[in-house]
Structure 1
């Protein structure tokens, strides 16, 4: 978070050299194939006219050229596939890293309005389309353009009318075929991407809510909705295929007219004595090779449009400005200090701005434990967002050790904070792997100490493998209370002076919740604790209890 995330252009520029090499190899493959066909036509025609092994006919130079072009085509094609696939995979990797780096600062709050299925679609489908922008789309188009220039120039040098005709046909193929592939297809690629995303969303949400769908007898209705999304996507895919088929038909039609005309020009020139028979054959086969290579222009153009649409969808998420930025010259925060909110005000922006905090004052000194309660929508989560510096206050300031958090780097402040969210995830993996997310360098002694402080050590020792015991996805092999305790142990391993908890007992029964809170008070061991909780708290868990109402904090009397 200290360095700004790379721009999308920088991601592509990072791979400029292998991309250029892949394009060069693709052009070399096309040029070698075209040269091979032209030279073979010249050689076979000349050999036939020479009458087999007639004296004076040089068989060796053309055959050596054919072997050289064949070898060059094999090597360049292998290299193009090798470098092309390699750079595509590397580009896909870096695009996903770029997307994560840009989206993660927005994730806690800014992505809350986005559906998980849509984000997954952008991360998978759109990046798969975007990573081929240069190799699968622009690469073939640029290579075809270079091949056309080469063939036109060679044809014009041998016979200017043929060069002019080659240029005219190339312009027709390069202009009319892409037009047929995209005619009436404005925003089609964007709608195709949206259809793919809608289908993925529906499938993903259906799998997550499968138990509820069965319990509510809503499976058939959900399947109908999935079928509707699938039909919409299939309809748009068929329209795309029809346009590509139309482009292929137009290409074939142009070539069907161009080749007889090219043959007529060559026969006319040969009859007039302007070119020899072998040269005429070479020009004919060069034209055939060029027209055949141009058959992929419609697909390359469609891939270009798909990649552009996918890049726009990625930018719509990852291109958003982060809500909080680091100062140019950040101030270093002290190791320990008091956390103080001074007349803090905050409102969520939107069509109808909603002010949730108004002149909030709060002091959390080292070692103090504070709880804040409030009704749903009172602003508790907004207060926590400010304390985590996911947003900056609209009015007032938040200081730590006397320093305004806006003067410090976000990474510096986050090192001072251990956070346990309301839905703290337990990841599929071992106990050790889950705990070390709090401190990657923690040894076994520290891990057992953290488990002991939340009274989970005996339960872990009873597991097969102990610290290496496998935990299912979302902690499926643990009880709800054990999952919360494991997440709390992970937070305690951060060894941060400030511990922020958001509804740590949500969903737990009263006895389990009270036991966890009592253990939490003991586990803090001198740390500052600020907890958001609407539950009744056991005696001695916190020193001060507030209620958030009408945007302000009101102290509650001790129980």
Structure 2
């Protein structure tokens, strides 16, 4: 529990430094605008009260026959100034601070994607798609509360209290000091108690909400199967359980917030009452006249606008802390120790992999699989039907298998130039020099150019057209409304399976890897097109290590550039399965 609390503090501290402290000048300007808005509002109400009271007393005095002069132009001008200033400062504050929040959310995304880029595929697979969706949407959106709700309102309230105390100090230093210290102490006690009481429920609510989101997404994904099995209503019961728990927690938090609001309203009411009594007593003793007494009471009353907003604003602390805790390891992953003595180019002289006993590669259970990449045998063909472990073998070699952390140390042995290396050293050395075409066609909701280049800098249109010709997509691309800048739709919905497959293959052709792993590269392609594309990319493959995984070996795999004697063949037969 202690370590968990420490992790929460570290998470909030990390994000506070990234978002607030490093941009403290911008934060201070935003806080100043918030304070000016509050100060103008307090001054407007207080001066209006003074002006109305003074005007009423002047009218009564004149009606009674007394000679009295009242300057109405200066306070009238002040009222107009404060009213205009409040409107302008509120507009500027909303504009500036919301722009700051958008900048911060952009900064969080950059920090997250920078951190995620260092994660291995096996680590990413440990979380479901629904959990990633929750982290990168709901949790990320919760972070905007850090500035708008957790920093600026309390800061404005403290400055407002200080301004009010300075106003009272013109007539009584003792009263000003008592007002400041008592209000600050009692307010802090109320909010500390409120935050402690709602902390566990707030975290439980967010956790339950994320679980319900994941359950709902899984329900929608499996809806056709549930309908066919007539299990839809039964499966919906779990969603109803989440709903009931969610409602109970929500009601409990609402009650806590209502109690905190009641305590703050009571405190403010006492402040106004004490201010009224003290103002009447001060007017009777001749410290100030009646209009000033009204001014002081209304100034205290106006301060309530800042104070009464705090329960609702600070109530999001639990949600924000939980979001910060979940996003922290993504943006700040633990650094891995790299063996600098292993030069990346040394890997490509000779690579030996000995594998046995992997639970998802049946062939390895009977005998040790020995894979060797060298100048004499640079190409490896792996055949076998679905489920025989071909994709698992590829992911294991690339250090991306989800089971790697459990099994790799005992079932796989990696050698570089005959020297044993650890799985981590091997994986780190291999990452930068590998191009992997998985079975899944991953298409971004973006343009054709972005989908082909996929983060590579300084890629010319000419180079993109060149690789599109190799995969026979150039004529299709020219027929698009905006050529390379044409939008491919959400997740490639405008594409056929064959087109998506060839775009994924074109991505690899823009890179210069040492090892190329092609997992069913001809999915969605007819045999003649597959043969043409293979011959087109053969010159690119010729000087690399190649691992080709297919169900059945195509006749066209061997060619002049990729002769048969340079191929190894590893076959997963039906008996292995």
TM-score by length of 1: 0.78
Is it true that 1:382 corresponds to 2:396 in the alignment?
yes
On the 8 A contact 1:11/1:98 being kept in 2, the answer is: no
On the 8 A contact 2:143/2:323 being kept in 1, the answer is: yes
Is it true that 1:369 corresponds to 2:386 in the alignment?
no
Q: Secondary structure at the match of 2:399?
A: helix
Please give the per-residue CA displacement for 1:431-453, whole angstroms capped at 9, x wherever unaligned.
Answer: 55533438676666654543443
1:492 Cα deviation (Å)?
Answer: 1.8
1:146 Cα deviation (Å)?
Answer: 1.5
Aligned match for 1:152, one of 165, 178, 183: 165
On the 8 A contact 2:116/2:331 being kept in 1, the answer is: yes
**Structure 2 regions of 5+ residues with no counterpart?**
1-13, 359-364, 559-563, 573-577
Aligned match for 1:141, one of 148, 154, 166: 154
Q: Secondary structure at the match of 1:533?
A: strand
CA distance in 1, matches of 2:49, 2:225: 70
On the 8 A contact 1:366/1:527 being kept in 2, the answer is: no
Q: Secondary structure at the match of 1:424?
A: coil
Aligned match for 2:544, one of 512, 516, 528: 528
CA distance in 1, matches of 2:480, 2:70: 86
Larger displacement relative to structure 2 (157-166 or 29-38): 157-166
Larger displacement relative to structure 2 (374-383 or 496-505): 374-383
Q: 1:483 to 1:174 in 2, by over 3 A?
A: same
CA distance in 1, matches of 2:286, 2:356: 88
1:469 Cα deviation (Å)?
Answer: 6.9
CA distance in 1, matches of 2:248, 2:151: 27
Please give the per-residue CA displacement for 1:506-541, whole angstroms capped at 9, x wherever unaligned.
Answer: 9x48x9579737843652312414325263323544
1:423 Cα deviation (Å)?
Answer: 1.5
* Partner in structure 2 of residue 544 of structure 1: 567
**Structure 1 regions of 5+ residues with no counterpart?**
1-6, 349-354, 550-559
1:298 Cα deviation (Å)?
Answer: 0.9
Aligned match for 2:52, one of 28, 44, 48: 44
Written as runs of structure 1 = structure 2, the 5 A alignment for 1:271-290 is 271-290=284-303
CA distance in 1, matches of 2:20, 2:339: 26
Written as runs of structure 1 = structure 2, the 5 A alignment for 1:392-407 is 398=416
* Partner in structure 1 of residue 4 of structure 2: none
Larger displacement relative to structure 2 (236-245 or 421-430): 421-430
Q: 1:96 to 1:236 in 2, by over 3 A?
A: farther
Aligned residues: 524
Is it true that 1:501 corresponds to 2:524 in the alignment?
no
* Partner in structure 1 of residue 8 of structure 2: none
1:384 Cα deviation (Å)?
Answer: 1.6
CA distance in 2, matches of 1:114, 1:513: 37
CA distance in 1, matches of 2:157, 2:376: 69
Q: 1:10 to 1:180 in 2, by over 3 A?
A: closer
CA distance in 1, matches of 2:481, 2:74: 75
CA distance in 2, matches of 1:302, 1:477: 45
CA distance in 2, matches of 1:11, 1:168: 31
Written as runs of structure 1 = structure 2, the 5 A alignment for 1:201-240 is 201-240=214-253
* Partner in structure 2 of residue 197 of structure 1: 210
Q: 1:272 to 1:195 in 2, by over 3 A?
A: same
Written as runs of structure 1 = structure 2, the 5 A alignment for 1:297-312 is 297-312=310-325
CA distance in 2, matches of 1:74, 1:469: 45
On the 8 A contact 2:383/2:552 being kept in 1, the answer is: no
1:478 Cα deviation (Å)?
Answer: 4.6
Q: 1:438 to 1:300 in 2, by over 3 A?
A: closer
On the 8 A contact 2:520/2:550 being kept in 1, the answer is: no
CA distance in 2, matches of 1:313, 1:288: 41
Is it true that 1:24 corresponds to 2:41 in the alignment?
no
- Report the RMSD for the aligned CA atoms in angstroms: 4.3
Q: 1:224 to 1:310 in 2, by over 3 A?
A: same
1:221 Cα deviation (Å)?
Answer: 3.4
Q: 1:179 to 1:535 in 2, by over 3 A?
A: same
Aligned match for 1:245, one of 232, 237, 258: 258
CA distance in 2, matches of 1:428, 1:366: 42
Please give the per-residue CA displacement for 1:202-246, whole angstroms capped at 9, x wherever unaligned.
Answer: 333334444434444343334333333334333333322222211
Q: 1:194 to 1:181 in 2, by over 3 A?
A: same
CA distance in 1, matches of 2:458, 2:332: 34
On the 8 A contact 1:29/1:77 being kept in 2, the answer is: yes
* Partner in structure 1 of residue 362 of structure 2: none
CA distance in 2, matches of 1:267, 1:462: 84
Is it true that 1:486 corresponds to 2:503 in the alignment?
yes
Please give the per-residue CA displacement for 1:349-389, whole angstroms capped at 9, x wherever unaligned.
Answer: xxxxxx9x9997733439932235685397541212279xx
Is it true that 1:79 corresponds to 2:92 in the alignment?
yes
Please give the per-residue CA displacement for 1:465-500, whole angstroms capped at 9, x wherever unaligned.
Answer: 876776454545555444323321332233x14352
CA distance in 1, matches of 2:357, 2:115: 24
Q: Secondary structure at the match of 2:312?
A: helix
Is it true that 1:269 corresponds to 2:285 in the alignment?
no
Please give the per-residue CA displacement for 1:117-158, whole angstroms capped at 9, x wherever unaligned.
Answer: 222112111121212212321111011012112212332441
Q: Secondary structure at the match of 1:425?
A: coil
Written as runs of structure 1 = structure 2, the 5 A alignment for 1:82-121 is 82-106=95-119, 108-121=121-134
CA distance in 1, matches of 2:245, 2:79: 51
Please give the per-residue CA displacement for 1:265-317, whole angstroms capped at 9, x wherever unaligned.
Answer: 22233333344323322221111112332001112221333322211121143
Q: 1:288 to 1:505 in 2, by over 3 A?
A: same
1:407 Cα deviation (Å)?
Answer: 10
1:91 Cα deviation (Å)?
Answer: 0.8
1:42 Cα deviation (Å)?
Answer: 2.7
Is it true that 1:68 corresponds to 2:81 in the alignment?
yes
Q: 1:431 to 1:273 in 2, by over 3 A?
A: closer
